[in-house]
Chain A
Amino acid sequence: MQHAIGHGHSQGADSHSHDHGHHDQESMKVLGFWIFLVTDCLLFGTLFATYVVLKAHTDGGPTGKELFEIPGFVAETFILLTSSFTSGLAVLAMNKKKVGQLIGWLIVTVLLGASFVGLEINEFVNMVHEGATISTSAFLTAFFVLVGTHGLHVSVGLVWMIALMIQLKMRGVTPVTKRKITVISLYWHFLDVVWIFLFTIVYLMGVM
């Protein structure tokens, strides 16, 4: 309960110990984000369950086996896994307080993520051209919703990561930016884990 006097009014809420009950605010935010990830897990869990129930309901339309192209989704998988790795490298750079390296690895991560989203959009467009749209059958609705939700998460992550890079540029590695980077790298790894399930349940089991 040490008390530091003299902080100005506009002082940011970094993790100094001036507080009574305001325990380490930044670590509290990370805890909150973990709980958010739990809820996101459930969100995906529900979507997975929906997909599994409706997988066979193709209503005479195309099946996964006919639609999924192995090179496409394998490439997507490798790109996303690599981006997860590079976001890990970014965190390592952050821990060494190397802002340049940190931003560099984040750029690589964003580029990989963007190419993942690009490939996915390309995949979707191809499917629509083949006549497999979201309104073709219950199976395809469930497919587009499940994979699309993941894609949307990745896209949101990209915008967020770019915003964080600008903030890093402006402020360097402070307790606040450090927490933000920790949180987004958690998010990014989480999306990677979700993709592994997608890869297995939707794509691998779809083409088998």
Chain B
Amino acid sequence: MYASIKSFASSFFVTGDPLIYGADVSIGLTSIAILFVLFYFKKWGWLWREWLTTVDHKKIGMMYLIASLLMLFRGGVDALLMRAQLAMPNVHFLQAEHYNEVFTTHGTIMILFMAMPMMFGLFNMVVPLQIGARDVAYPYLNAVSFWLFFFGAMLFNISFVIGGSPDAGWLSYPPLSEMSGSPGVGQNFYIWGIQISGIGSLATGINFIVTILKMRAPGMKLMKMPMFTWSVFSSSIIIIFAFPILTVTLALLFIDRFLGGHLFTMDGGGNPMMYVNLIWMWGHPEVYIVVLPAFGIFSEIVATFSRKRIFGYKSMVFALMSISILSFFTWVHHFFTMGAGADVNVFFAIATMAIGIPTGAKVFNWLFTMFRGRIRLEQPMLWTLAFIPCFVVGGATGVMLAVAPADYQYHNSYFLIAHFHQVLIGGVVFGYLAGIYYWWPKLFGFKLNDRLGKWAFWLWNIGFYVCFMPQYALGFMGMTRRVYTYGWDMGWGPLNLVSTIGAFLMGIGFVFQVWQILYSVKYGERDTTGDPWDGRTLEWSIPSPPPMYNFAVVPHAGERDSFWEEKERRNFAPAPPVPVAQLESIHMPKNSGVPFVFSACWFVAGFGFVFGWLWMAILGMVGVGVTLLIRSFQYDTDYYVPVEEVRETEVAAGRAV
């Protein structure tokens, strides 16, 4: 009995590595600390009522943001572990297996559990405010999406201490990711972690399409929408076309692993190359899913901090939409070297380069928004200005990679690594950080400290170039990605050392940001006006943080930058308060605990599938079904905020008399 428990535990828990034990201890201590705080301050009820059951898009957005920052930490630690291992030739800091796990989880977490939730966080925090809506189209579904993401991410992350992490790369190509190549449970964690959160992402895509189509304030025609809303719309369209492919692909891989199927296996007639095609048919659009909203953020910030209208609005919208269409015709450029034939390669090479055209046009439009403007170098603008050179160079190396015959030399080399980190960090991370700095005061009611922010900014930026410029050179020196070690013979040592130094600089930059947030919670400059940046769009017309119902009176938005135009018309005098008599009771959705329980059931089912414990998987799936039915039988799902409450809130905020 004891022996069988012992053998179970030794395969169930990851053992044998001091790093893992360290993680075990810190996870344990953190959990105990959280539980202690919750019990000691009797915060359980508060946690449940205010957060776990909330359907408020602002709170959901904040939870996405916090979760994504945690994941940025986890993925960042992975990155630093890798860079430490590669700092010098023949380092024995990590074993091959451990290194393979680390780069797999780094990639997966950064794209799916960092970039995606940070993006959804911004969607949630900003879009309804920007279009003058009181919530998203389906607030309940929105909560479902968040909790699915959350439990999917948890499922993926516990593989670090239970069962073992996936180690076949962030897209886990078969046959390496099949049972023949990866017999452990790590790949199952990969599949179910992504699958569960992926369903949530798909739902978010649907939610925001309908929100943007149906919930806009009166007068706001499509061509009067703010650029960020446009970018969310185009990104959501890509989501609904790309994510079903991911769902199917992962399901098929799981069927191979769990039921002994032969879709992607080497034997039985399977075709591993089909997986590579399918996963990139999702994977390539996915990059545009995360980068388009960043473009939208830059458009808002550039206009605000140049005190000027966005230049070439129509051309910007056209560029966004054409990128979202083109993004579906480039996936083969991830495997030109598969030998699909010259016709195919030429088609996809040119389609890929063609994406550079609308992207380039957007850069020029941003530049000419600043041209003849008045540029204020506040934190959001700093990140935007850092983005432009970084992304332009990254885009140029992208065009170079699109040249199919030349790609035979870049493919799988550090040149490629440097390229996609340059567009993903320079484009997506800088963009989201800019967006967070920009909208933080709106959501939290205070600005993030400037001095600490500048430290973080310069550390991030210098660190970025120190880290990734050498990697372009390493690619030309023949260094391939995913090698856990290398010798002295190729002369890769010095540049790798430089690169590692850069990575740690970025790590220090992140520490500064955490410090910045904690510091600003207490000492940050409070925003009492609701409009700290002299903004242009509707979200700045309401108090910071916004009341639960956002807009006491639904605004009319008859022109682009309607809030700015209105300010101009009254010569930047403060807006007159609304007479209380004009206020009405407000129709809002009720909180619900079902999304949390529903997603937790998915977690249970996913965990059961990971270990092949059918009883647990079935239990979880039954839970999923029952919670769905419970929701179906709920008819009492909304309520009215009484007019007295609206009046009190508005008067307290100085918005009504």
B13: chain A residues at CB < 8 Å are none
B500 to chain A, nearest CB (A): 41
Q: A9–B637 Cα gap in the complex (Å)? A: 10
A10: chain B residues at CB < 8 Å are 636, 639
B residues 563-595 near A (Cβ < 8 Å) are: 584-587, 589
B633: chain A residues at CB < 8 Å are 163, 166-167
A7 within 8 A of B: yes
B550 to chain A, nearest CB (A): 10
Q: Quick one: closest B residue to A177, CB to CB?
A: B635
Selected from A32, A138, A163, A164, the residue in CB contact (under 8 A) with B138 is A32
A58 within 8 A of B: yes
Q: Quick one: closest A residue to B553, CB to CB?
A: A20
Annotate A130-142 by CB proximity to B: 1 below 8 A, 0 otherwise: 0000111111011
A47: chain B residues at CB < 8 Å are 248
Q: A181–B420 Cα gap in the complex (Å)? A: 47
Contact B261 A11 (CB under 8 A): no
A129 within 8 A of B: no
B137 within 8 A of A: yes
Q: A137–B265 Cα gap in the complex (Å)? A: 10
Contact B256 A43 (CB under 8 A): no
B274 within 8 A of A: yes
Main secondary structure of the interface of A (DSSP, over half): helix
A42 within 8 A of B: yes
Selected from B137, B247, B589, B639, the residue in CB contact (under 8 A) with A32 is B137
The range of chain A's interface size is 35 or more
B121 to chain A, nearest CB (A): 21
Contact A29 B138 (CB under 8 A): yes
Using a Cβ cutoff of 8 Å, how many contacts connect chains A and B? 150
Q: A35–B17 Cα gap in the complex (Å)? A: 47
Annotate A23-62 by CB proximity to B: 1 below 8 A, 0 otherwise: 1000011011001101110110011001001100111000
B210: chain A residues at CB < 8 Å are 28, 31-32, 35
B483 within 8 A of A: no
Contact B278 A54 (CB under 8 A): no
B111 within 8 A of A: no
Selected from B134, B214, B243, the residue in CB contact (under 8 A) with A31 is B214
A134: chain B residues at CB < 8 Å are 255, 259-261
B312 within 8 A of A: no
B residues 596-651 near A (Cβ < 8 Å) are: 625, 629, 632-633, 635-640
B511 within 8 A of A: no
Annotate A157-170 by CB proximity to B: 1 below 8 A, 0 otherwise: 00110011011000
A145: chain B residues at CB < 8 Å are 251-252, 255, 261, 263
Q: A147–B545 Cα gap in the complex (Å)? A: 51
A206 to chain B, nearest CB (A): 16
Q: Quick one: closest A residue to B264, CB to CB?
A: A138
Contact A139 B249 (CB under 8 A): no
B256: chain A residues at CB < 8 Å are 141
Annotate B222-253 by CB proximity to A: 1 below 8 A, 0 otherwise: 00000000000000000011011101110110
Contact B137 A142 (CB under 8 A): no
A135: chain B residues at CB < 8 Å are 259-262, 268
Selected from B215, B243, B245, B259, the residue in CB contact (under 8 A) with A21 is B215
B554 within 8 A of A: yes
Selected from A43, A139, A159, the residue in CB contact (under 8 A) with B269 is A139
Contact A12 B635 (CB under 8 A): yes
Selected from A18, A40, A137, the residue in CB contact (under 8 A) with B262 is A137
A54: chain B residues at CB < 8 Å are 263, 269-271, 274
- Knowing A134-B261, A137-B262, say if A21 contacts B138 (CB, 8 Å): no
Selected from A20, A35, A166, the residue in CB contact (under 8 A) with B240 is A35
Of the candidates B132, B209, B249, B268, the one having the most CB atoms from chain A within 10 angstroms of its own CB is B268
B202 within 8 A of A: yes
Q: A179–B272 Cα gap in the complex (Å)? A: 43
A69 within 8 A of B: no
B73 to chain A, nearest CB (A): 32
A136 to chain B, nearest CB (A): 8
Q: A138–B134 Cα gap in the complex (Å)? A: 50
A198 to chain B, nearest CB (A): 15
Contact A57 B269 (CB under 8 A): yes
Selected from B251, B259, B638, the residue in CB contact (under 8 A) with A13 is B638
B255 to chain A, nearest CB (A): 6
Q: A163–B630 Cα gap in the complex (Å)? A: 10
Q: A124–B625 Cα gap in the complex (Å)? A: 24
B422 to chain A, nearest CB (A): 31
- Knowing A22-B134, A59-B269, say if A39 contacts B639 (CB, 8 Å): no
B181 to chain A, nearest CB (A): 17
Contact A18 B587 (CB under 8 A): yes
Contact B240 A3 (CB under 8 A): no
Q: A137–B263 Cα gap in the complex (Å)? A: 8
Q: Quick one: closest B residue to A141, CB to CB?
A: B261
Q: A43–B281 Cα gap in the complex (Å)? A: 13
- Knowing A28-B210, A167-B632, say if A39 contacts B244 (CB, 8 Å): yes
A residues with CB within 8 A of B: 3, 5, 7, 9-13, 18-23, 28-29, 31-32, 35-36, 38-40, 42-43, 46-47, 50, 53-54, 57-59, 134-139, 141-142, 145, 159-160, 163-164, 166-167, 171, 176, 180
24 A-B pairs with C-beta separation under 8 A: A3-B584, A7-B640, A20-B584, A20-B586, A21-B132, A21-B133, A21-B554, A29-B138, A31-B213, A32-B206, A35-B210, A46-B245, A46-B249, A50-B263, A53-B274, A59-B267, A135-B259, A135-B261, A136-B268, A138-B261, A138-B268, A138-B269, A141-B268, A145-B252
Q: For the complex of A and B, list the 4 residue pairs with the smallest distance between their C-beta atoms, beginning with the closest.
A: A57-B269, A135-B260, A138-B269, A141-B261
B residues with CB within 8 A of A: 132-134, 137-138, 141, 202, 206-207, 209-210, 213-218, 240-241, 243-245, 247-249, 251-252, 255-256, 259-263, 265, 267-271, 274, 278, 551, 553-554, 584-587, 589, 625, 629, 632-633, 635-640
- Starting from the known contacts A21-B554, A32-B207, 16 additional A-B residue pairs (CB-CB under 8 Å) come to A12-B635, A13-B587, A13-B589, A20-B586, A28-B214, A31-B213, A36-B206, A46-B248, A50-B274, A53-B271, A54-B274, A59-B267, A136-B262, A137-B262, A163-B629, A166-B633
